Amino acid sequence: MIISNQVNKDELNKLVQEVMNDSYFLQAKNVYCTHYFWLKDFNKYKAIFADNIDSFTQKVREQSKVFILDNKNKQKI
């Protein structure tokens, strides 16, 4: 069985946008936050927090890629 680690750029961008739209800024803690992936599977994913938008966006992008690959490979099994 061959497992692909390639992610379609359009699919990735769409998911990142969806996650960013579901995210919020916790003013009291001065951090950006999303529970998007945690709500999908709390045993596998954690909430994402970051002090600045660039770091937050990078973390969302990385987790989005993992999420897409997990689901793509799950479908092949």
- pLDDT, one tens digit per residue, over 6-64 is 899 999 999 999 999 999 999 999 999 999 999 999 999 999 999 999 999 999 999 99
The domain in which residue 25 lies consists of 9-76
Q: How far apart are the first and last CA of the chain?
A: 9
Q: What is the pLDDT of residue 73?
A: 74
Q: Of 30, 40, 69, 57, nearest to 48 (Cα)?
A: 57
Q: What's the whole-model pTM score?
A: 0.87
In a domain, 2, yes or no: no
In a domain, 26, yes or no: yes
Instruction: Give me the sign of the Cα torsion angle 67, 73, 75, 77.
Output: negative
Q: How many domains does the chain have?
A: 1
Q: Of 57, 47, 59, 61, nearest to 12 (Cα)?
A: 61
In a domain, 4, yes or no: no
